[in-house]
Structure 1
Amino acid sequence: MKWYKSLSFALLFLVTLANAQSANRFFYELTFKPKKGIDSLQKTVMILDVTDKKSLYRDYLTVSQDSILKITVEKMQKSGIFQDMSKVIRQPKFSHKIYKSYPTMKVQYIDAVLNGGRPLYLSYSEETKFNWKIENEKKKIGEYEAQKATTEFGGRKWTAWFTESIPFPDGPYKFSGLPGLIVKIEDAEKNYSWELKGNKKIENYNELSYSEQLMAQFGGSLKTTDITREKFEKTLADFKKDPFANMRDQLSQIPADAKMPGTDKSVKDFIAEKERETKELYGSIDNSIEILEKK
């Protein structure tokens, strides 16, 4: 039943894509154009968790559904009946995580691919320096008095508004280096626009989501493999084209008449359905935040 164990890790990873300390969590509404050349917009909520040594930026869905996921998993464990968690849990729009180390603001960008049915966490690190031009213009963004700053980054021109009333030189995505937290930032063509909508203090903060804790509990590794950005981008692009490529040998060993536990659906039909859904998800966004030069 090796194939079933690998499949369990794979499905958990695909539908859900720490220390005892406190953290300040900032909630950003991200408005973005997912497709190149198309003006239709989508929205999602991203979070920036700030501790004394680092910050962590990610899609809020990766943690907001923890309680639902926990209840679903515990119910499956008690009943022994498989439940398709993709019917309960929504897949985040963005699967990456970004750490910034204080005070250097060195960036570690992390995403994952499937390797033999289990997630393999890949990362690249970079010293991201922003050449900010701070201007005199000020205005109120939400409840904050903010000041304007501009820069160029990732092939786009950006306008940011920061507030010195929150003395963190940080912001959403990779942005940092201003004398206060960024409360709004968008590129000139409004492909991506983040705006701070709220914040709260989290006591006994654990940066791991429930799905990550579950993977660690069942022997999955959360260790990241740091590679060059060029290799990272290629590996991730190849994975998105064929998410199950590294499982082909294992999938071929599944008996033709095998059924998903607790269902009348065949394992192969179930996998084909998940593969199609996963490819559609990854193909729904082709307008990247950074415009990478082709070599």
Structure 2
Amino acid sequence: MKKIFTVFAFTAFFALNAQETANRFFYELTFKPKKDSAKLDKVMTVLDVVKDRSIYRDYTLLAQDSILKIQVEAMQKAGTFKDISKSVTMPKFSEKVYKFYPGMKVQYSDRVANGFTPMNIGYNEELKFNWKIENQKEKIGAYNAQKATTEYGGRKWTAWFTTDIPLQDGPYKFYGLPGLIVKVNDDGNNYSWELKGNKKVPDFKEATYLETVSPGGDGGKVVEVSRDKFERTFGDFKKDPMATARPYLTSEVMSQKIPGSDLTIGQMVKQQEKMLNDFFNANDNPIEIPAAKAKK
């Protein structure tokens, strides 16, 4: 009976939505980027739900997509290069989490460098949360919600779900409750997501403009690898973001000017390396504790 209800709920929820329309749920993420500091940071994240999957990610670059498109196309038209990084708000997180319906296969992906070409790699996870649903109920924002608890990634989590929205989904990897998760946080308040709103996105395109026009032009296609290989590859990338490009960066190449700019390739590489190192060093408190992941 429960499975029949789940199928019916999903069917009913999407009945009024065309295939190209996404339901976008906005989750404000409050998090502690440094393990040894009480300082908190905030960022808006989104869960985009379409007919056969959901995609969770940082909303920062998505929110600037149309502005970035105008700036890049202006450079292309003028035939000049302009460093737009200073006018762009950089994201706090770079990963994407996919959940494929109806089986809820979870895929975690992130971007690494393959020479000069960005590449998305990801791993699939057979993930079943052992939720304990409790009787406690509260109003979370506009929704009547019920409490549930679980453990995952070395942390204890409390979630609040609402049956007002019949989606067994939520932010990050969380799913599997009889309604959308509207709030979830760990017991140490390292990470806390809360639903702040939702809207329909007509003519939904998963890939951002920058993903579409980036070298390779794959639009965000994910190369699937094992979790162990993902963690080794991404760990190496974090330690040395330019490692795979360095063999091509001869002194002759580094001294060349970028067309339409006063910058040399060497100066641009240095800027990119600093930006990536600053990004990775900004957070040493991951959602999933590495020691806990190693035990899985």
| TM-score, scaled to structure 2 | 0.89
- 2:205 maps to 206
Shift of 1:185: 0.3
Paired residues for 1:1-295 under 5 Å: 21-215=20-214, 219-221=216-218, 222-252=220-250, 254-255=252-253, 257-293=255-291, 294=294
- Structure 1 window deviating more from structure 2 (33-42 vs 263-272): it is 263-272
* Code of the aligned partner of 1:290: E
Offset of residue 103 of structure 1: 1.5
| Unmatched runs of 5 consecutive residues or more in structure 1 | 1-18
Distance across 2 between alignment mates of 1:256 and 1:219: 22
Task: Give RMSD over aligned pairs.
Answer: 1.6
Residue 208 of structure 1: CA displacement?
1.3
> What secondary structure, in the 3-state scheme, does the structure 2 residue paired with 1:77 have?
helix
* Contact 1:162–1:180 (8 Å) recurs in 2: yes
Cα deviation, residue 253, structure 1: 5.2
Residues 124 and 167 (structure 1), Cα distance of their counterparts in 2 relative to 1, 3 Å cut: same
Distance 1:191 1:267, change over 3 A: same
Could you list the structure 1 runs, at least 4 aligned residues long, displaced by more than 6 angstroms after superposition.
none
Are 2:132 and 2:150, in contact at CA under 8 Å, matched by a contact in 1? yes
TM-fit CA distance, 1:269: 2.4
Residue 269 of structure 1 aligns to a residue whose secondary structure is helix
TM-superposed CA distance for 1:201, in Å, is 0.8
Code of the residue aligned with 2:145 in structure 1: it is A
Higher mean C-alpha deviation, range 275-284 or range 148-157: 275-284
In 1, Cα distance between the equivalents of 2:19 and 2:269?
38
Instruction: Give me the identity figure in percent.
Output: 55
With 86-95 and 156-165 compared, the bigger mean Cα shift is at: 86-95
Of stretches 155-164 and 249-258 in structure 1, the one that deviates more from structure 2 is 249-258
Would you say how many aligned residue pairs link Structure 1 and Structure 2? Answer: 275
Counterparts in 2 of 1:256 and 1:228: CA distance versus 1, 3 Å = closer
- Please report how far the alpha carbon of residue 255 of structure 1 lies from its aligned counterpart in structure 2 after TM superposition: 4.2
Separation of aligned partners in 1, 2:89 and 2:196: 22
SS of the aligned residue for 2:171 comes to coil
User: Structure 2 vs 1, CA of residues 165 and 256 (structure 1 numbering), >3 Å: closer, same or farther?
Assistant: closer
Question: Within 1, Cα distance between the matches of 2:157 and 2:79?
Answer: 52
TM-score, structure 1 as length reference: 0.89
Once residues 158 and 30 of structure 1 are traced to their aligned partners in structure 2, the CA distance between those partners, rounded to angstroms, is 14
Change (3 A) 1:20 1:206: farther
Note the alpha carbon deviations across 1:236-292, whole angstroms, 9 max, x for none. 111011111111121115446422333333331232122122111111111010112
- The alpha-carbon deviation at position 203 of structure 1 amounts to 1.4
C-alpha separation in 1, matches of 2:262 and 2:209: 29
Show the counterpart of 2:4: none
Q: C-alpha displacement at 1:78, in angstroms?
A: 1.1
Cα separation, partners in 2 of 1:201 and 1:137, compared to 1, 3 Å = same
- The residue type paired with residue 270 of structure 1 is M
Question: Amino acid of the residue matched to residue 227 of structure 1?
Answer: V
Any idea what SS the aligned residue of 1:243 has?
coil
Aligned AA for 2:177?
L
Q: Is the 8 A contact 1:68 1:89 kept in 2?
A: no
